[in-house]
Chain A
């Protein structure tokens, strides 16, 4: 089945370290997203990409960067991790839409990141 996958699934790192989270999809979708989930705060958008050459900041992009290496791959980097970046990170994809319409977002399984 077409799917969205994330690696690693769990990661523990130390303050100041650089870390990369990776997302791959076999759904053939053009659009990809990175969210973080914190208890009581829901899902907040970090970055999103409509295609390989189109990357946009979301609500909480400070401290993060992304790379869209191919249509199927979208990675999230923490250049210098800090403890308040401890969270559950989700990648998501969606098909491109026609004007005025919206498509379902499909989420990956998540990466649990702990920054000590």
Chain B
């Protein structure tokens, strides 16, 4: 069925290091892939998204890459800071789900000082 798998479920990095979170999806027709960040006790907020006609997108310290052949996309955070500590969710639009978002299970990122 339609599925988004997200790895790892937890990730700890030293401040200043890079963090990478990877998601794989099941529907080759998917064409929209957003990433949401949820700080502790807060609501999820969109941080970056990518459409299938683009292989990479950057916004300051964050970037998303998309490999449509392999059906996976990744979030890259460089020069991590304590305020990057949060749960990150990937998501995808599936053609068979009335084109609604299906979310991954989330990654708890902890940036250690």
Mark A residues whose CB is within 8 Å of B.
33, 40-45, 48, 56, 58-59, 90, 102, 104-105, 107-110
Q: How many A-B residue pairs have CB under 8 A?
A: 42
Does residue B109 face the partner (Cβ distance < 8 Å to A)?
Answer: no
B43 proximity list for chain A (CB < 8 A)? 90, 107-110
A33 proximity list for chain B (CB < 8 A)? 100
Which residues B34-86 have CB closer than 8 A to chain A?
A: 34, 42-46, 49, 51
Mark B residues whose CB is within 8 Å of A.
6, 9, 32, 34, 42-46, 49, 51, 89, 93, 97-98, 100-106
A43 proximity list for chain B (CB < 8 A)? 44, 89, 103
Q: Is the CB of A42 within 8 A of B89?
A: yes
Closest residue of chain A to B46 (Cβ to Cβ) is A104
Known: A42-B103, A102-B51, A108-B43. 17 other contacts (CB 8 A): A40-B9, A42-B89, A42-B104, A42-B105, A43-B103, A45-B100, A45-B102, A48-B100, A59-B97, A59-B102, A90-B43, A90-B44, A102-B34, A104-B34, A104-B49, A107-B43, A109-B43
Give 29 A-B contacts (CB < 8 Å), ordered by A residue: A40-B9, A40-B106, A41-B105, A42-B6, A42-B103, A42-B104, A42-B106, A43-B44, A43-B89, A44-B103, A45-B101, A45-B102, A48-B100, A56-B98, A59-B102, A90-B43, A90-B44, A102-B32, A102-B34, A102-B49, A102-B51, A104-B34, A104-B49, A105-B46, A107-B43, A107-B45, A109-B42, A109-B43, A110-B43
